[in-house]
Amino acid sequence: MRLILLGPPGAGKGTQAARLVEKYRIAHLSTGDMLRAAIAAETPIGLKAKDIMASGALVPDEVVVGIIADRIDQSDCANGFILDGFPRTVPQAEALDALLKQKKLKLDAAIQLRVNEAILLQRVENRIAQMKERGEAIRADDNVEALARRLEVYRSQTEPLVHYYGDRRILATVDGMKSIDEVTNEIGRILEAAAAPAPARPKKQAKSAPKATKPKPAVKARPAAKKAKKASRPAGKARAAAKRARPGRKAAKPTKRAAGKGPKRPAKKAAKKRAKTPAKGRKRLTKRR
């Protein structure tokens, strides 16, 4: 199972991803989490991303594409993965397509969590309060200013992906305003439908479908009646004789020569000539003619 979760900050992508990981035993790939880990570890990528992220802008495409390319090669992704926060731009989506194509993998679904923007600020404020309660560090971009920027970036850069995956017929939209459990159940239904084999086409369409798609039996079965008919057929010369003797069969029209009208062939002379000519020569003669 390989899927993408699309949605603005605060839509609930992370919450749903955690549940899907449990249910399907697949890897959760959150570029936001990976970048935050890189910042904490002060890696070159982390140093590069730190200020950009704090402002609510996007880190360059090639940075996140590189991270994802390395990550999906790891063994915990063999069973599938959820992409959370990636792709976030059309070039990222194109890079992902190329990457998956190269690995002969395909996406099962892109699920959009649609939410009322008015509630997002409220959700992020709740998140901040909960983190404070738990004594966790507040994200550098969880403040009113950065959130406004993140939303603006989502609208202009990420939302076009709804059409991108819509065109590829893998987009499903879920009402992210419903309860967490309802959203989980809805996503579950979508994924089950995506994993199910395609329903049989109606007869009319099946007729016009190319022949190659028709399932063929491994061994061409001969209908029993045909088999029996063949078994009762006389073989070889006997069959020819039976054909000639068939009642109602038109008598063969005599040839001109047989009727004495055609040119006479001096049978004896021709036979003598054939006997004299070596087989090889005869062959050549026939060829030249």
Q: How many CB atoms lie within 10 A of CB 215?
A: 4
Query: By CB under 6 A, is residue 45 in contact with ligand ADP?
Result: no
Q: Given the rule CB under 6 A, which of 56-64, 186-194, 232-240, 263-271 is the region that contacts ligand ADP?
A: 56-64
User: Would you call 100 exposed, middle or buried from its count of C-beta atoms within 10 A (0-12, 13-18, 19+)?
Assistant: middle
Nearer to ligand ADP, 98 or 238 (CB): 98
Judge whether 249 counts as a catalytic residue.
no
Instruction: Lay out the site mask for ligand ADP across 75-94 (x = CB under 6 A, - = otherwise).
Output: ----------xx-x---x--
Q: How far apart are the first and last CA of the chain?
A: 71
Q: Given the rule CB under 6 A, which of 52-60, 175-183, 190-198, 234-242 is the region that contacts ligand ADP?
A: 52-60
Query: By CB under 6 A, is residue 95 in contact with ligand ADP?
Result: no
Judge whether 139 counts as a catalytic residue.
yes
Query: By CB under 6 A, is residue 12 in contact with ligand ADP?
Result: no
Shortest distance (Å) from residue 115 CB to ligand ADP: 12
Q: How many residues sit in the footprint of ligand ADP (CB under 6 A)?
A: 17
Near ligand ADP in 191-230, by CB under 6 A: none
Judge whether 265 counts as a catalytic residue.
no
Shortest distance (Å) from residue 100 CB to ligand ADP: 16
Nearer to ligand ADP, 141 or 186 (CB): 141
Q: Which of 19, 71, 114, 127 is catalytic?
A: 127
Q: Which of 19, 48, 50, 139 is catalytic?
A: 139
Instruction: Lay out the site mask for ligand ADP across 138-177 (x = CB under 6 A, - = otherwise).
Output: ---x--------x---------------------------
Distance CA 170, CA 4 (A): 10
Sign of the C-alpha dihedral, residues 25, 29, 33, 35? positive
Judge whether 88 counts as a catalytic residue.
yes
Could you list the residues that contact ligand ADP (CB under 6 A)? 9, 31-32, 35, 52-53, 56-59, 64, 85-86, 88, 92, 141, 150
Which residues does the annotation mark as catalytic? 13, 88, 127, 139, 150
